Amino acid sequence: MRDENAFLEKMIASKKPVLGICLGAQLLAKACGAAVKKAPRKEMGFFDLEVTAAGERDPLMKGLGRKIRMFEWHEDTFDLPENGMFLARGEGCESQAFRIGKCAWGTQFHFEVTPEIVASWLDEYGSAGMNREEITRFGGDFVKNGRVMAANFAAIVKGK
């Protein structure tokens, strides 16, 4: 993990866009001096999150609105780094999305997954209390949100 930490520190110092998802967000927070620890509860499934006022203005989160439903699969969390800004918060696990400076973002939730990926995780690792009906019921929400965030990050990387 030392190499990953050094890489993230280098990316932040060089002001190149960097995005950490789930474990990546935890590593990014750690590289910025924040604690990584067990979450108050495991989050596996679909959760409603609140986008902060800063998040609504942020280039990664723009266009999502104040309430979003995202897919979670984690049992650890992180504290907000000293120079960080919350972009989204959750009820059971507060740290959901943050930004450091102008070029580094972390999301605890998985905006990159599709219903097919979620189904394959359930097949591989067990249901975690979920069922396929939830994937169908909530799939449109989190896929739409994920596509918005992916397009936003692509625009950030391109400098737009």
77-103 tens-digit pLDDT: 999 999 899 999 999 899 999 999 999
**Is 18 in a helix, a strand, or coil?**
strand
* pTM for the whole structure: 0.90
pLDDT at 18: 95
pLDDT for position 5: 86
CATH number for the region 37-158 comes to 3.40.50.880
Distance CA 111, CA 49 (A): 12
Q: Is the pLDDT of residue 154 over 70?
A: yes
Res. 132: pLDDT tops 80: no
Instruction: Give the CA diameter of the chain.
Output: 44
pLDDT, position 121 = 85
Instruction: List Cα–Cα distances, 140 to 36, 100, 103, in angstroms.
Output: 31, 30, 29
Summarised one tens digit per residue, pLDDT across range 18-61 is 999 999 999 999 999 999 999 998 888 888 999 999 999 999 99
Q: What percent of the chain has pLDDT over 70?
A: 96
- The residue extents of the domains of the chain are 37-158
The set of catalytic residues is 22, 110, 112
* Cα 130 to Cα 86: distance, rounded to the nearest angstrom: 28
Q: Which amino acid, 27?
A: L
